[in-house]
Each structure stands twice: as C-alpha cells, then as structure tokens.
Structure 1
Amino acid sequence: MPSLRPRLACTAWRATCIACAIWTSWPAAAQTPSADEPEAAADKPQRVEITGSSIKRIDAETALPVQVLRREDIQATGAATTEQLLTRISAATSNGIVTPSMAAGATTGGISSASLRGLSGTRTLILINGRRVSAFGAIGDSVSVDVNSIPLAAIERIEILKDGASAIYGSDAVAGVINFVLRRDYRGGELSLEYGASTQGDGGIGRFSAVWGHGDAASDGYNITLIGTYQKEQGLFGRDRDFARSSVNVAHNNDTTSGNSFPANIFFNGHSYNPMAPDQCAPSVSSPFFGPAVCRYDPAPDVQLVPPTERLGFMANAIVPLGQDFEAFGEFSIARNEVNTVIQPVPISDQFALPPHHPLFNVAPYNGNATIVLKPDSPYYPTDFVQGIVGAGNPLPDVLVRYRSVATGPRDITDTIEPVRGVLGVRGSWRGWDVDAALLHSESKVTEDVNGGFPAYSKILPLLNSGQVNFFGPNTPDVQALIDDTQYHGNSYVNKTGLTSLAARVSGELMPLGGGGLGLALGGEFRRESYESSPSAAIQSGDITGYGGNFLPVDRSRKVAAVFGELNAPLVKGFEANFAVRYDKYQGSGSATTPKASLRWQPMPQLLLRASVGRGFRAPSLTDLYGPQVSGVSANGQNDPLRCGIDGNNSSNDCATQFPILAGGNPDLQSERSRNATIGLVLEPASGVSIGLDAFDIHLKNTIIAGVPVATILGDIDRFGDLVHRGPVQPEFPNLPGPIVRIDQFALNLGQTRIQGVDLDAKLRLPRTEYGSFSVNLTGTWFHRYDVQDLDGTFSPGIADANSLASANAAGIVPRWKHYLALNWRQGPWSATLAQNFQTGYRDVPGTFEDTEDPAYRYHHVSSYTTYDVLAGYRVNKQLELALGVKNVLDTDPPYTNNGGQSFFQAGYDPSYVDPRGRFVYLRANWTF
C-alpha cells in the first residue's frame, strides 16, 4: 500500500503556499498594540510550560499544535457543563464518547467522557494541571475520565494538544491530551449565579459558584484559593420532544419497538399474536411493520433524553514559598455528583437468558430463559381468541407470554459519583535548572442504587407463571401487592478506581547554540493504578432484571514505572529541533519505548512552519484484561440475517429482537501501538490576524475494542460469523441454520485504524472602531479518512458513516467537517458573541426493515447540523457583570437518524452530539469583590 506521508506533506505544502501568497499580498501593518491590548511588559519574559513538553519556554507557539481556551473563551460559549464545552472543540468528535444521556439500556454510571479524533475516552488523556487524574470507574472501563467532575467555574484555561503524546505522558495519549488548568494564586472573591431553561419551559439548569483567594506568595508568604460549586439539571423525556417520541419511522423503514409489550403478546404455533391488537394496544402501539396481529412496545417516550443531575464540588490550592527560589504547593478537590436515570419498564420473556448458575436455570418451564407460560386454566387466558386460531373443538395450547412489566414501573436508578484528588509537591529553580516533584493521589467512587422497576427473576417468574397475573389489563390490588414484593431495592454495585503516583523532573539549559540554549528535561514516574468493582450479591447472581445479565467482582491493580527525557535544540535563530523519548513498564503487560521528534522553523516573524513524528501506545486497561466475561442481551431491533424473513420465518425470536451476548475482558490482549505525524504552519500576515493549518496522520495498530457491535456482526455475517453461536436446527425450519443462542462481544485486538485530516485555527482581530472592537475565531477539523480494519483484513471507511465499524463500535459518528465559528464584539461596558456550531451530514445505518441487498437500496443521508448561539454581556461596574444568552437561537431540531433508536433507545436523533433541549435561554450574574 502506498505511504500516507506524501499525501500528508502535499496537503500541508499546498496550504503553506496559499498562506504565503496571502501574506505577500497583505498590506504591511504597524506592529503596535491595539487600544484594547496591554503594552508589553518591560520585565524579562517568563518561561512557561506548555502541554506536550517538559521544558519551559518563552515562546508559547511550539512545534506541536495546541489549542488554548481561556476563561473568557469558555464563558463566551455559554456551556453549562464541561461536557457541553468540549462539543465546541472541533478535534473532539462524538464518536467514542459516553454521556449521561446514553444511560438508557447501558450501565454507564453517569460518566461523560471526551474523545479526540474519534478515538474514545480510553485514548484521550485527561490531565488536571498537567497531571493525571483517576478514571471514573464505570462498569468495564478503568481508563476514561469523567470531564463533568471538573466544574467550569474552577477552570482557568484548557489546553488541547492535538497530537499523540506518549513520549511525554505515556499510555492513553494516542489521540492527544486535554489539560485542564485550574484557577490558582487568586486574590479577592467572586460569586457567580446562572440559571437557564428551554423556551418550552423544561430542561432547566442552575449553577452557583464561589471563589475566594487570600495572600500574596511574595509579600505574605502564602496564597490559598478556595472554590465551591453547585449545579442542578432538570430531566427531559422522549415524550417531551416531537423528534424523539416515537421509535417507528415508516419513511425510513425503521422500527426499534419491542415485541415484549403490554398488553402482552402471546406466542404459539410459531407465531406471535395479541388478543388486544390492533385497536387496544395502548400503552403499546400497533406498528405497520409487524401488521395488525401484535402490539409493540415503544420505549422512546419513556426514555430520558437528559437525566436529572445534581453536582456539588469543592477545590482548594495553596502556595507557600520555600526561600527565594522554591515553593511548596498543594491541591485538593472533592465532589459529589448524583445522576438519576429513569427508563422504560423491563421486558420479561423467553427471549432473555438466565445465567447458567441461576437457581431457576434448569427448572421447568424456564429451561435457561425468563420464560412465562400462560395456561388455559388461568382466568386471564384469552380463550375465545386462541380458540378462534386453533379452531373450535381443538385443545387450547399453553402459550408463551412476551411481557413488558409495566406493573413494576419504570426502571429508576441513582448513580452517585465521588471523586477525590490531592497533590503535594515542590517546584522551583536550582542553579538555573527548573525542578518539579509531586506526590499525587486520585480516586473515584461510583455507587449505583436501584430505586424501583427491577424485579428479581427468582420472585417474579413464579408469580408470572402462576396464572394470577393479568397480562392484558390492570391487576387486582392483592396481585399488585404481590408484584410489588418482587421488586429489588438497594445497592447495585460500588466501583472504585485509584491512582497514586510519585513523579519528578528537572529541566534547564546545557549549553548555548546558534538560536538559544540547548534545553534538556529528565524525569521519572512511578504510579499504582487500581480498579475494584463490587456488585451486590443479587447482581452477581444475575437475578435482577433490567441489567441484561450479571456483573462479577473485579479487584485488580498494577504498578507502572517510567523514565523520560526531552531535548530542545535551537540550532539557529528561528529553527529548533525537539527530541523526546519515554520508557514505560506495565506490570503484567510488558514495556514500551516511545520516541518523538519535531521541528519548528520560523523563517520570518509572520510565518511559523512545524512538523512532528512519533510513536505511541496504549496498554490494555485493567478491565480490558481482567473484566469477567458475563452474559447479557443486545439492543432492540436486531434481525438474524440467516433466519429472519426466510422460508416464511418471521418469528420474534429471530426478527426485531434482542440476542444473548457474552462480553468481558481478554487476558491475551496486546498493547495498542500508534504512529502519529503532523505538519503545518501558523501564519500572521498582519497585526491581529493568525491562520493555523495542521495536517495530522494517525496509524493505530492492535486496536483494542470492547467487542464488535451486534448490529455490525449481523450486518455482515460473512466476516463476523465466527462470533455467532447457534443452537440445533429446528424441525419446523429444516432448511435454516439453528437460532442464535449467543454472540461473543469480549475484548479483542481488531487490526488497525488509519486517520488523516487537517485542523484549522484562524483568528482575526480588527482595528478598533467607533462602533467597538470586533474579532472572529474559527476552529475546524476536516477528516480525510477514518478507516478501521475488520477481522478479514479489509478496511471499512468510517468517515461520515454511522454504519461503519469505527462509529458503531462506540457512540456517535465522525463527521467529515466540524467547526466552531465565533464573532465577538466589545464596546465600553457592552460585549456580545454570536457563534455557529456546524458539522456535516453522514450516511445513516440502514433501517431495521430495509433490504440492503436490494439493488435499488440507497443509504439514507443524515443532514448536516447547524445551531447558533448568542451571548450579550454588560458590566454594570467594576464588581458586577451581567450576561444574557440564548443557545440554539433558531430552535433547530436535530436531523433524523436511525442510529439513535438502535443504539441508545432514543429514537429519531443521535444523543451523542445533540442537546435535545432546543432553544435554551440563560441569565448569568458575576460579582467580584
């Protein structure tokens, strides 16, 4: 295969030529500060540390592409959470993220992760003040960090390194780094209050924060900064939005309803029926895709689009000088976040497997499944209806019941997240060398409690098989009381993660070179990582409905040791080379050496050229390796391509159903390996004008995935058939293979991932006018390719395609182009920002009733998505500032996609990149003292 490097270099070279042409034709401008820019300080410039390097430097524009969002930029976005803020980062796609809104049908714990380059939260390294933070601790994920645990009020700036950084930071930085720099060394006080809601009167968000700092490190000998935050978000259901309240879309041949309904469907003679269909299916529906004989349960109205959330946090940091050149510093943070998730009632039927060790597994009539049999002697047996089918005079058969347990109510859980982080360290200068050493401890605890809607199989199955329960209407108070007694209440699981590290580094200049001092950094790190999952006994047994299987305990830890070095050589004025290398040794997973080299050339003050190449790696996580393999079920709406619709078989066991799966870790996993390269330029043709273009190329090998998605497996059974296990051939369908009894979804190394694209970062600040000061900022990312290798060695294009393995393996999609464009204005005490959020459309997953083998079949194209935000601010006086903002000013509904209902139960749209609140108005007040 031809190398990707020439294409990457060609793209960057063309961009350089265009930029140079613009520069040569641009009129010369005086290099003096504008009226609203401060004069340059007369003091000697201070060296600063930039994300992606261990060497302090004066020039913040390095050989690596780093996007910086300062506090004023963050406030101008109108984001209410860190999750919302990161959607404005063009390099962060929705592919690979997890948000609290995706908890429907999944055990996420309420996490909100970040995904640079669409490579997921497991390959995007999150730092706080340049140091690691413990993983969130969701079921099956011991790597991803919950960004919503970092309150916006505490953030001074965010630095996004859009390049692999394993040579500096080690594992997990394959896609890049997001470094949250928190507020510190603050003096005075600040109170901030904000509240907003959608113009439909729901989805409200309220925020309050307080910042107080005291002491000057130089004169008082200390500084302490305290930050307190509180936030509350109201919930939103599918029934609250027109675009999300139905799982049936005839125009797109898509139906993600469930055959486990209320009134219940019954199954006999190889077919499903419902005595209440089609006119009395409520609260279920009658779907044209399944005909008038059955009722279908539509989960969309009962699924939360946004879960109610309450967040409380406290942070503190302190600085104490130790003589003239050193200082001691400390950081501490603690938070308590609660996410309440409510979704549709549980389905119970023979379509759901019991764990092999369940006490009812070998008991009739269950025989390994959550089987419900309704006998003719039950008062609720539909005698006349069944007699009309089997014929008068023929014996009435026992029927299987496919039931939606509305009698036990919606599933209701509360996730409580309690992260704690502390740092103690010293830093300073010794004989011209910068020294930094710190001890870090970070941990996270996630507790999930069941509030209702999760009956125990061991209690409810005997009751449902007793003939006392009415599956077609209301139950008597006595029977309802018996049903209520089957409910499980209490703790589901407690997960804990821990990270303890001791790290130190020194940096300084070895000798003078033609362009400055030869910089050297050396350092080392030792850390211990841990992950512990403690499910309740009931969850371990698989006895609790609604979890799709059982969770088993995990208690694993490992030690990691690393040494690293970096050399920065300014060979001549304007030209410097940087070399870095790191060696990591992971207990139980081997070692990795990751080098990196970069060049920075500034041939003239207005033009900077840069390039880098390096290697990276991601060690298999503790859950990748040691997560227990447990049984579960797939999402709704899946079809067996070898049985459904063939030889007249339209059984709900094979069509639009859920299949048993086996998921978990794999101790034979290898580390992922990556090769990263960037080449680009920064052009400043005139005062106030900056254009940055950076082409990127990522080649990831031994890609670790948590399992090939069921929809992908069934959509291409020729490639993924080895992951499907079948039972014996059934006598009624002798020409068909046996029914699916299990689909494997355990972790594996799935070949390679190839990504190419270009980042654009442009800024324009116009000269001050009588109408005020204007500036324009544009950040955008273009993906040229995103190809993922399949099991057979071929590559599936994943760019702008929700049907690809790249997108289907995680949430969301990779848009061809995504940008954030902001127009800013300031005049006296007034200020305003108008922003556009845009991403291109993409190819949708097929509808559940589309025949992709039909020559006339054409993929549905999901429309591009554009929203506009506006924010107006007014500074009343030196202490008080007010702001009024509107997000999604035009109240633009998200484009329709089949993917939302198939992946998240949230029909009609993709929740991975859309805020379903719509037009959202908010008011903010900020008072300093």
Structure 2
Amino acid sequence: MKVKKLAHMLALIGAVAPFANDAMAQDAAPIQRIEITGSSIKRIAKEGALPIQVVSFDTIEKSGITSTEQLVRTLSANGTGADNMTSGNNVFGADADRVSGGASFASLRGLGPNSTLVLLNGRRIASHGASGKAVDLNSIPLGAIARVEILKDGASAIYGTDAVGGVMNFILRENYDGVEASASTNVTQQGGGQTRRLSLLAGKGKLADDGYNIMASVTYDKDDKLSSSDRKFVNGFQPARGLSPDTTGTPFATQLSGAGTALGTGFQVPGDSSTYLQANQLSLQGKCDSVPGMSQYQTDLWKDVTSPLRSKYSCAYDYGADYAISFPVERLNAISRGTLQLNADHKLAFEGMYSRTKATAILTPVQIQTSLANKNAYPVGGAYYQDLSAFIPSFDKTKPIIYKWRATEWGDRTQENITDSARLLIAAEGTFLGKWDYKAGLSRAESQTKTALTDGYGYTSKIYSALASGVINPWLAPGQSQTAEASSLIESTKFRGDFQHGKTTLTQLDGTVSGELLQLPAGALAIAAGFDLRREGYDFGQNVDATGILLAPGNAALTNTSRDVRAIFTELLVPVTKDLELQLALRRDHYSVFGATTNPKLAFRYQPASTLLFRGSANKGFLAPSFTQLYSAQLSQELPNGIIDPIFCPTHPGDPAFCAISRQPYQTGGNSKLRPETSKQGTLGMVIEPVKGYSASLDFWAINVQDRILNRTPQVVLANAAALSANIIRNPDNTINYIQAGWINAAGLRTRGADLGLRGEGLLSGYKWNAALDGTWTKSFKFAEIQGQQYKELVGNFYTRDIYLRWKHNASLGVARGDWSGLLTQNYSAGYKDQLPNGGKGAPPAGFKADVSSYTTYDVSATYGGIKNATFTVGIKNLLNTDPPFTAHNVDEVVGAGWDPRVADARGRQLTLLFKYKFL
C-alpha cells in the first residue's frame, strides 16, 4: 500500500489532528509499524476499531493554547466540571478539593479525573502529590510533545482498570536533531491574567545515520493573577435576575442574639411583633450599600432557604465577587530523552522528566463568628462597643456583643503551593525472529506538593483573645481603618510558614510482546501479551496542628500507605474476512487491597468499501478507590449559616435551632468499606468519505457505572435525610449534633451520546484549505445518589459537580499559501437550565431567566514563515470579546458570582504572540 494512500486513510477515519495539513505532512514518511493508542499491537498506520482524536503540537501553538489545561478544555469529549484551576481556587462548595494546590485534571465523559488515564509516551506518571487522585495536567511537558492522542472509549482491558473514561496519551518528539527556541505571550485586553512562555528544544544525532539521539527540552511558563474586580460581569448582587449573596457575614459585622448577650435571645423593633435573631446597624439605617460589596439582605429571594428572623435586618456581602479568578502560577517543565540504536533490531532509551509548579492560591478573607462559649465576644466598655438601643429598645448595653464578621483586616487567605514531579525511565524495544516486536520499561515516578500559608491565617486561640480585647474594631465605617495597636495585634495572631505536604510515588515494570501468530485466509492473526507490575504509594500530612489555625485548608492526614497492582493482559487482532477485523483483549489485575478483577474488551472494524467503515466495541471496567477515598481520617468543618433540618423544621416552624441552623458542623473523610466502581460500556460508529478529501465520522457511545464513588456532601445527606438518617447524628433534643459526610458508593449512572467528526480539505485559487469539526452530543446522563432512588436526568440541567451539556464542539478553518497560513477556530458550548433561586421554592423574580445562554467564542491567528529559520504567529483569542453567560447559581455551591468557570473563560479578548527560531 502506498504511503500517500495510508495518510489519506488516516484522514478518512479521523485519526489525525483537526487540521488536514497534519496528514499531508506525513506523505513523505517511510512505511513503518507503529503502536496506536488503544492497542498494544504494532501495525501499518491504519485506524483500528476505536475512536481516537489526535491533536498536533503545531495546532496547539497556532491556537494560542499555553497550557495543557486549556488544551483539554477544547476537547468536546472532556467533561464540563470543576476540575480546572479556577474552580479549584476556592472555599466554595461543600465538596471542593481544598488541597488541589493549583492542579488541573482531565475528566473524559465527565466521569471524573480518577476515571481518565493520562499517559506520557504510553506509560504512567505519578498522580498529583497533594490530592493524590489523578495526574496534574500542569506536570505535562507541553513544549516537548509531538501530538496528543485521545482514546474516547474505555480501555481497562488494555491499559489498566483506571482507564474507564478513556485515555489521553501525550507523545513526545523523537529523533529530533537541531536547536529550537520559542517565546510566546497572551495579553488580555481588559487586564490581568497575562501568560508568558519561554521554551528551548535541542537534539543531536539521527538514529538511522548516527545510531543515537539525545533530546532535551526546557519550558518556563508564568501566569499573572486575574481578579474578579478586573471583570465587570463578575457581580453577585443582581436580585432582579435571581442572584444575591446569602451570607450575613459582612465586613461591617452583624450582631447575633444569644442568652447573656446584648441582643438577648431575640429582639423586636417598634411596630413589628416578630422576634428577630440578628441585626446589622447599617441595615437598620438603610445603608448596607455604603460599604463596597455589601447590600441589604434579600429576604424575599432567600425566604425558604434562610429564616427571615435572621435576615430581615441583616446586610449581605458579595464575597463571590471578591476572589481570584485565576491565581499567579509559575511552571518549569524539563525533559530529556536519549535513544541508542544497539543494532538494526534493538534500541535502548533513557528518559528523565522534571516539573515544578508554584501556584499562589488566594482565597477570600476568613469569616469569624464569635460566641460567649469561645470567649471572643466584644466586651462591654470597649472603645468600639456598638449600641443599637436607638433601633432596638430591648438592647442591653450592659452585656457583651457576639457577632459574625468577614474579617477583611486579616487579609486574603494566601497559600503557596509548590509541586515537584519527576520520572526516570529506562526502556528497551525492538524486534526478534524477524516479525515479533517487544518493549519493556522500568520507571520510578513521584509527585510532591508542599503548602505554605503566607497570609490571612492565624491561630484560633490568639485570634479569639485579640477579638475579646476590644482593641480591634469589627464595625469600621467607610474610610476608617484599624489603629496601629489593632493592626499590630492582628499581625501577632497570624501563622506563616510550612503547613502541609503530600507525596505520591509510582514504581512500574512493564513489558509487551506482539507479532503475527499465524496466517489466516484473510490475513495475519496478530497477538500481543504483556505484564504490568506497579507499586503505588501516597502520604499526606501537616506540619502543625491544623486545629490550631482558624479555618485552615486541607484534608485529614494519611500516612505512608501503599498498594501493589499486578496485571497480565493479552490482545488478538483477528482478520475474519478481508473487510472485517476483530480486536479481542483481556486483562487481569490483582490489587493487594481488593483482590483480582478480569476485564474483557471486544471490538470490530468492518470496511466493505474504500469510502465506508464501520466500527464498534464493548468492554467492562473496574475502578478501585483512591487512597484518600479509602483511608483519610475524619475532618471537622462547618456549613454556612441558614441550614434547614428537613425532618424537624416542618414540625418546629420558625425555630432557628431547626429552621435556620448557625454554622452546622459536619465531618468528612475516608471510607474503608468502599467498593470499586464497575462499568459496562460500548461504542458503535461509522466513517464515510463520499468524495476524496471530505469525510465524516459518527460514533455512538454508552456507559453504565455501578457503585460510583462520590464525595457525599452534607447538603446531599440533608436532601436525602430519610434514606440517610444514620448519617445525621442528633442531640437528645433532636437538634443536629453533626452530619457525617464523606465518600460513598452512590447507586450509579447511565450516560449515552455520540461524537461527530467532520473533515474537509482542498485547493482553491492556489490556497490550501482544511476544515474540521469535533463535537460531542450527550443524549442522557442519568444519576442516582442513593440505592433505590429513581435515576435523575442531568443533561442540560444545573448540577453542583459537573454540568452535562447537550452539545459541545470545536470547529476550525485553516488556509495556507506560500509562507502564510491562517486559522479560525470556533468553540461552542450549549446552554442549560439554571439553578433555581430560593432553593426552587416559590416564584422566582420576574427578571430571572431559567436558561443559561450558550457560549460561543472565536479565535483567529496568522502565521508567517518567510524568514529563514523563523516563524511568527499573531492571534486573537475570543475575537468578539464575548462575556461568559449569566447564571444565578448559589456561589456557596459553585464558584463564580454571576458566571460559571466550568463553562466559560473569564479572560476575554486576548492578543497572542509566538516567535519561534531554529538555530540548526
């Protein structure tokens, strides 16, 4: 078969990058057997039975993509969830990952990072050091890769049990000879969030001529901070549209009621017979908005969520619009690979990889609630004692004041997270007996994250003592500031220094043999067989007593745990007829914790004509719980104010102990009784090329998962109080003592959809052009939280974990002539039903729109290569400067005040510049 025909076949079935010039560049390549992601058998370059998307590095650069996270977000098969760095930089959401340390993760099909296997040159690398759940995309050496192969089908039978959602395989450049340097930057029009990159790639030697090749790459990235204040659309106070803060912890403190306090057990105001439980002087004066970010609490908007007895005379604070959208990040990635051609049939390779990510997470200031029990009430006689008797006749100024305060004087809670990741690999590959291929490798990988607190955190006992002194003023009027004595006292309470650390390790020995077993009438029967031995380890701990630091981040300690995984696998390629080929795979994994699991895979490829191909697969999956999910200790936390007890509030209406619970404690942690997830999934598709240069692929997919491992939030426990009553631990008077949240085996999920790929290329008036579209249509994503519950449809509806959009796509049009080329890209995400205000109870405001709009952005770039050894690319991302669509979701559950970072990018229009120079 001619090479040109082979390259054309690759374009036909969608195995090339989204731009046809990637395929045309292969025209001159020699014929060789290669290993394609999704199979362990080397063969002539030909698409197998599984849907694979390939993105070239040239496409990545011309698209202005500067990080692996940005690349993954353009993939339609990747989930629309909170696995990005913006969502990770928060204290919002009861199931937020507070130890992600600036990490970012992939989540194919929206099944979660644990279900997506990320490989580098077909082999594993260590999971993120802090969270331990999956590979941090920041650790991928993007500047040294040649392409990315995305297998959009479960591959547990090929790569291991954690490949349930699919595989992302980052392929490094090989046999590179020369020196290449590049510099790039992305500058936002509205300010903030600028990115810069410097990269150097060098290689020497050609395997065919010199018998060796040594390649090294170093890339340095720096991302600037982007604050919510830099973007006008970040606004959490839009009550007419159904959006307003539901917290009364404000920079101008709100006074609380309680026995022995100035407000007593409750108060009344003249002309109102109701007894209220908290008050803010600015609210009583009608001046909440005199302090930036504050507003009158919208009682009508939240009337069924928070008791009016607490909120009517309270102010609210838009803290969701007071945090870093993206924080300062510095990344250094270095990789070196040496290959020695021992003889015509054998070669030896050495590979070393190192990455360091320094991410400065910046969170909103701490919220403090004082009490007589904690001995931090404001004292009678203090210089700033706030007398409300002019508004509240029953106010007793002979008693101390307890209050709730957003303590901006302590500053933003700032964490410096440094993650060091490394891998060493020695590998051999070649052929023997003329027709058998082999490869083997021994690797050691690890990732370590260290977190230091640099501002905004303090020792609980010291803070409480400082507040009780009366020196600190929690009622600063606009233009006022703390005294020098108060500022010094605040500073004396702070903790700065190393706080926590996490480390993952991975030692792996693997080997594979493949070749032709025998000749059948329709062709050669090919086989692959191999083994995979791994030891995985995880350690997480804190350098200080976390209970001594007020609202310190982190998970519970988990010390030096490990497990062994032993696997054997085999794969057959069976040519049934000249047009029909079967792929049969079987893998048996043995976990030292869970025992053995066997997972099969069956796939077919049928090509009745040169213009038509059918393909499909069916397989089973198995996902073992992570170390954190199994073994982490219990961690005590608190829910925001206003929690309602769904069991006893209806029988005790208006009682704040049941209907407006203040700072409800809950516990999270590991669950040693977790069962592995199991899955059944399959694909069925076709590829057609009716006219040369024009092709289309359509692949339907279906996945069923049982015993899905999820973090049960306290809100979920309360929402399922009858079924999960054992998780609500009560006091003798039936008030809630605490809620037991944490990891559970949920009932499961069922999802269905299809991937569409369109390709076209041609020549028009001397211009080469190519067009492409990769899209994912999700028909259904049904989920049941608790066994026995009815499955709930999530596609097109708001959800606090992932949003399952009906349709997502990336489309492009490229043109080239001579030294010039251009690229236009469209990214589209469908709209969805918004979260209902007021917990979905009662009629929403007149201005509320139930649907969040779709989100479409356009990117354009032009590249000039007419100067010897140099290439210039200039582009504009988000050409039309499209703002993210408005959403009224509750910021306590999902990051973003008025917008959602799971769907949209807050950077707006950006100028992208890239300069590349080849020295040799």
Q: 1:710 to 1:888 in 2, by over 3 A?
A: farther
Tell me which amino acid in the other structure corresponds to 1:425: A
Q: Measure, in 1, the Cα distance between the counterparts of 2:758 and 2:509.
A: 39
Q: Deviations over 1:116-150 (max 9, x none)?
A: 00011110010110001110123xx4231111221
1:413 to 2:402 alignment = no
Q: Deviations over 1:391-412 (max 9, x none)?
A: 38x6744332112222211111
The corresponding residue for 1:212 is: 202
Q: Measure, in 1, the Cα distance between the counterparts of 2:21 and 2:392.
A: 86
C-alpha contact 2:558 2:628 (8 A) present in aligned 1: no
User: 594, 598, 601: which one pairs with 1:593?
Assistant: 598
User: 63, 71, 79: which one pairs with 2:65?
Assistant: 79
Q: Deviations over 1:430-472 (max 9, x none)?
A: 1121010000111101111111100110211122123332221
User: 612, 626, 634: which one pairs with 1:629?
Assistant: 634
Q: Deviations over 1:581-639 (max 9, x none)?
A: 00001111222100111111111111111111111110111111111121123467755
In terms of mean alpha carbon deviation, does 629-638 or 874-883 score higher?
A: 629-638
Tell me which amino acid in the other structure corresponds to 1:633: E
User: 458, 468, 472: which one pairs with 2:471?
Assistant: 468
Q: Measure, in 2, the Cα distance between the counterparts of 1:232 and 1:186.
A: 26
Q: Measure, in 1, the Cα distance between the counterparts of 2:660 and 2:897.
A: 19
Q: Measure, in 2, the Cα distance between the counterparts of 1:510 and 1:700.
A: 36
Q: Deviations over 1:802-833 (max 9, x none)?
A: 54xxx42x3x3110111001011111111111
1:427 to 2:433 alignment = no
How many residue pairs end up in the alignment? 859
The corresponding residue for 2:499 is: 492
Q: Measure, in 1, the Cα distance between the counterparts of 2:79 and 2:338.
A: 36
Q: 1:296 to 1:773 in 2, by over 3 A?
A: same
> CA shift at 1:673, angstroms?
0.6
The corresponding residue for 1:16 is: none
Q: Measure, in 2, the Cα distance between the counterparts of 1:426 and 1:646.
A: 71
C-alpha contact 1:135 1:444 (8 A) present in aligned 2: yes
In the alignment, structure 2 segments of 5+ residues that lack a partner are 1-11, 13-19, 92-97, 258-264, 267-276, 300-310
Q: Measure, in 1, the Cα distance between the counterparts of 2:256 and 2:101.
A: 36
User: 792, 795, 798: which one pairs with 1:800?
Assistant: 795
C-alpha contact 1:96 1:119 (8 A) present in aligned 2: no
Q: Deviations over 1:290-329 (max 9, x none)?
A: 4672232321332000111111121111100112210000
1:910 to 2:900 alignment = yes
Structure 1 residue matching 2:240: 3-state secondary structure: coil
Q: Measure, in 1, the Cα distance between the counterparts of 2:219 and 2:21.
A: 36
> CA shift at 1:876, angstroms?
2.3
1:53 to 2:39 alignment = yes
Tell me which amino acid in the other structure corresponds to 1:373: A
> CA shift at 1:422, angstroms?
1.4
Q: Measure, in 2, the Cα distance between the counterparts of 1:42 and 1:413.
A: 49
Q: Measure, in 2, the Cα distance between the counterparts of 1:913 and 1:858.
A: 20
User: 319, 331, 334: which one pairs with 2:354?
Assistant: 334
Structure 2 residue matching 1:625: 3-state secondary structure: helix
The corresponding residue for 2:5 is: none
Tell me which amino acid in the other structure corresponds to 2:836: P
The corresponding residue for 1:65 is: 51
Q: Measure, in 2, the Cα distance between the counterparts of 1:108 and 1:745.
A: 20
User: 352, 376, 381: which one pairs with 1:377?
Assistant: 381
Q: Measure, in 1, the Cα distance between the counterparts of 2:538 and 2:334.
A: 24
Q: RMSD in angstroms over aligned alpha carbons?
A: 2.7
> CA shift at 1:100, angstroms?
4.5
C-alpha contact 1:259 1:652 (8 A) present in aligned 2: no
Q: Measure, in 2, the Cα distance between the counterparts of 1:396 and 1:436.
A: 82
C-alpha contact 1:532 1:556 (8 A) present in aligned 2: yes
1:158 to 2:148 alignment = yes
> CA shift at 1:350, angstroms?
4.9
C-alpha contact 2:247 2:640 (8 A) present in aligned 1: no
Structure 1 residue matching 2:697: 3-state secondary structure: strand
Structure 2 residue matching 1:593: 3-state secondary structure: strand
> CA shift at 1:642, angstroms?
5.8
1:773 to 2:768 alignment = yes
Matches within 5 A, 1:288-687: 288-290=297-299, 293-350=313-370, 365-366=373-374, 372-383=376-387, 385-386=388-389, 388-391=391-394, 396-431=398-433, 432-473=435-476, 474-539=481-546, 542-547=547-552, 551-634=556-639, 639-641=644-646, 649=654, 655=660, 659-687=664-692
Identity of aligned residues (%): 34
In terms of mean alpha carbon deviation, does 600-609 or 149-158 score higher?
A: 149-158
Q: Measure, in 2, the Cα distance between the counterparts of 1:827 and 1:702.
A: 55
Q: 1:71 to 1:927 in 2, by over 3 A?
A: same
Q: Measure, in 2, the Cα distance between the counterparts of 1:641 and 1:181.
A: 52
Tell me which amino acid in the other structure corresponds to 1:255: S
Q: Deviations over 1:261-308 (max 9, x none)?
A: 221111113411122434265245123414672232321332000111
Q: Measure, in 2, the Cα distance between the counterparts of 1:71 and 1:665.
A: 40
1:286 to 2:295 alignment = yes
> CA shift at 1:744, angstroms?
2.3
Tell me which amino acid in the other structure corresponds to 1:756: R
C-alpha contact 1:259 1:657 (8 A) present in aligned 2: no
Q: Measure, in 1, the Cα distance between the counterparts of 2:81 and 2:397.
A: 55
1:887 to 2:877 alignment = yes
User: 234, 247, 252: which one pairs with 2:236?
Assistant: 247
Tell me which amino acid in the other structure corresponds to 1:901: V
Q: Measure, in 1, the Cα distance between the counterparts of 2:22 and 2:167.
A: 35
State TM-score, norm by structure 2.
Answer: 0.89
Q: Deviations over 1:678-701 (max 9, x none)?
A: 111111222111211110011111
Matches within 5 A, 1:777-856: 777-803=772-798, 807-808=799-800, 810=801, 812-848=802-838, 850-851=840-841
The corresponding residue for 2:15 is: none
Q: Measure, in 1, the Cα distance between the counterparts of 2:500 and 2:400.
A: 38
Q: Measure, in 1, the Cα distance between the counterparts of 2:567 and 2:492.
A: 55
Matches within 5 A, 1:722-801: 722-727=726-731, 729=733, 738=735, 740-766=736-762, 768-801=763-796
Q: 1:323 to 1:81 in 2, by over 3 A?
A: same
C-alpha contact 1:193 1:925 (8 A) present in aligned 2: yes
Q: Deviations over 1:779-801 (max 9, x none)?
A: 00011111112214224434334
C-alpha contact 1:256 1:637 (8 A) present in aligned 2: no
1:143 to 2:128 alignment = no
User: 258, 262, 267: which one pairs with 2:251?
Assistant: 262
